[in-house]
Structure 1
Amino acid sequence: MTTQYWLVKQEPEKYSWQDLLKDRRTDWDGVRNYQARNNLKTMRAGDKVLFYASVSLKEVQGIATVSREAYPDPTTDDERWVAVELEAQTTLPQPVTLEQIKNDSRLAEIALIKQSRLSVMPLRKTEFDRILKLGGV
C-alpha cells in the first residue's frame, strides 16, 4: 500500500511535540470535525504525519507515523468519532513557520492555508517533502 502524508494540528498548551517525544506514542483523539474525522479514518499504519503546533507557535515541529489505524475514540461514547495512534519519529532541525509555508508558492494549495480550522489534513508527497526541506531535513 502506498504511503500517505498528513499534517495534524495541536495547541502546544494542550499537547506539545515535546509531550509526544516524551510519550513516544499517543492516541490522536478528541477530533470533533467530520472532515478531520474522515481523514483519520483514511490514515493507514506507516503513513507519515507532520506535527503542527497551532495557536501560539504556528509551526511544524516534527515527524510522526501512524502506528495504529482508526479505532473508537476513547474520549467519547459516541461511535461516530475515531482516534488513531501516532508515534513520534524525528524533530525537525528547524521548525517551519506558518509564515514560511504561506510564502512558498509550492505550498499555496495546502489545507493549512485554505482550510485553516481543519485539524487533520492530507498532504501531497511533494508538499510533505517541501516542508521537510524547509525544516532542514
Structure 2
Amino acid sequence: MNYWLVKSEPDAYSWDDFVKLGRDHWDGVRNYAARKHMMAMQTGDLVLFYHSGGAKEVVGIAKVVQEHYPDPTTDDDRWVVVDLVPEKKLDKPVTLQEIKADDRLSGMPLVRIPRLSVQPVEKEEFDIILKKG
C-alpha cells in the first residue's frame, strides 16, 4: 500500500463537499509531477486530504477506489483522474505549522515542495500525522 496527500482550496472544494458526494474523481490536476503521482496511485491506497489556502491543514483520510483514467473535464488526453472516497475525518486537523515543527516530517514534499497538489507520503509520516489528528 502507498500513501499520498492531495490538496484542495476549501472554498472551492472542501472535505465536507467531498463527504456529501461520497465518491468523486480527483480532477483538474495540470502539473506533470502531480500527474505522475496520480498515475502511481493504486486501489486501496490511503490519501491525506489537505485544505490549502488560508486553512493549511490535513483534515481527513480518503481511499483510492479507482486507478487513473482520462480526466473527463478536459479533451487533453495528457491529464488523468483517480476516484477517491472519504474514509475518516480527523478528530483534530493537523496544521502545516504542526507538521513543520516536527523534525520527523521535515522531508515531506508538503514542507519541501509546498505547491505540489498531489504528493507521496511515507508510511511513517502518514502514521505521525494520524496520531496528531
TM-score interval (norm. to shorter): over 0.9
Indicate which of 81, 93, 103 corresponds to 1:95: 93
CA distance in 1, matches of 2:57, 2:121: 16
CA distance in 1, matches of 2:88, 2:13: 17
**Structure 1 residues 38-91: Cα deviation after superposition (integer angstroms, max 9, x where no partner):** 000000000000000000110000000001100000110111000000100100
Residue 107 of structure 2 aligns with an amino acid whose one-letter code is E
Task: State the match for 2:15 in structure 1.
Answer: 17
Task: State the match for 2:80 in structure 1.
Answer: 82
Q: Secondary structure at the match of 1:90?
A: strand
Task: State the match for 2:67 in structure 1.
Answer: 69
Residue 6 of structure 2 aligns with an amino acid whose one-letter code is V
Q: Secondary structure at the match of 1:132?
A: helix
Percent identity, aligned pairs only, is: 56
Give the alignment of 1:35-54 within 5 angstroms.
Answer: 35-54=33-52
Task: State the match for 1:109 in structure 2.
Answer: 107
Unaligned runs of 5+ in 1: none
Residue 106 of structure 1 aligns with an amino acid whose one-letter code is R
CA distance in 2, matches of 1:57, 1:95: 10
Task: State the match for 2:25 in structure 1.
Answer: 27
Unaligned runs of 5+ in 2: none
Runs (4+) of structure 1 moved beyond 3 Å? none
Residue 61 of structure 1 aligns with an amino acid whose one-letter code is V
CA distance in 1, matches of 2:106, 2:130: 16
CA distance in 2, matches of 1:33, 1:129: 27
Count residues in correspondence.
Answer: 133
